[in-house]
Structure 1
Amino acid sequence: MVRRGISGAAVLGAMLAVGLSAAPAMAREVVAFHEGVMDGVMPGTIVVRTSERRLYLVNGDGTAIRYPVAVGKPGKQWSGATRIDGKYVEPAWAPPREVKRDNPRLPSVIAGGSPSNPMGSAAMTLAGGEYAIHGTNRPNSIGTYASYGCIRMYNQDVVDLYERVSVGTQVYVTR
């Protein structure tokens, strides 16, 4: 569960000023994108392909920005359509019940900006559950099956995506 943290353009500007996205992410790239089974995907839509461990932001000109991500562990994966229902910079994090059960020593809330906060630089919460697209304090997990269902991104990539999307953005997660 994401707890509201510091938000707003001033804070995001400060994050950018200290270099969180000053250098382009080497793994982020523009690629050809053809919807396939996702006929009618509109520009600005996010498509997460779990099996590829990639997130695509559809540009609408036959291309998308492709980001490497970490996705749910086996048994924690999901698919479906949702939308972004909140955007937060350095959010506090309250472990969901299942995470707390598996890791009882976790505190009830980890402050935003803490090195032990798994949400990283920013988070975009997804409607209908406890999932989010967020940064990570474990960049070595990117490209793996590592989470309880959230979509993890490199911090510089989540800041880039955060700037490009808004609340209400459609998100499709496929297996």
Structure 2
Amino acid sequence: MSIFNRVMLKDMTEADLPLVLSWRNKDHVRNMMYNNDIITIEQHVKWFETIQKSPTSLAKVFYVDERPYGVVNIHQIDHNNYTCEWGIYIGEENTPAGLGTVMGYLAIQYIFYELRLKKIHAEVLAFNQQSYYYHKKMGFEQKDVLKKHIRPDGTFIDTIVFSLTITQWEQQREAIQTKIEQKFKENHLQ
């Protein structure tokens, strides 16, 4: 069975909040965020309520075999210019290699073919090499470096700006899908 028959993105619900909060506060997630503070349940609920009311934001939970593994945040959705920003993370630790790529693939497909947008923007903290190479692997193009852009721990750091257009995606989507299928077949996870 294809890995793509075992995965899905579901709208985040109130029932997901305790799990998502626990992921968000894990060091491997929190330390890569613009706001790397420990988030309280009250702050988390307020964030979720804001997302629920916003016509320009969506939050999804990534599932494999009905088990939640990560989060996709889509924000600054602009239906006039057909653009959005995204942020994603795998919350579970010790997951099979490649699940982040599967999650990103699903999210990109959703953004381009369900939301019918034409461009995705992303910002990556300069020290987050894993996210930097992830975005390159998924076909994103580096557009800019915002020098000394944010100060999560008192020291200003650079942010790298990426974008991916639907045209760029369509040129490499099949190759990325094939690599994903092959990886999961080789690892006997299909």
TM-score of the pair, normalised by structure 1: 0.28
* Structure (1/2) with the larger helix percentage: 2
Q: Which has the larger radius of gyration?
A: 2
- Structure with the greater relative contact order (CA < 8 A, sep ≥ 6): 1 or 2? 1
TM-score of the pair, normalised by structure 2: 0.26
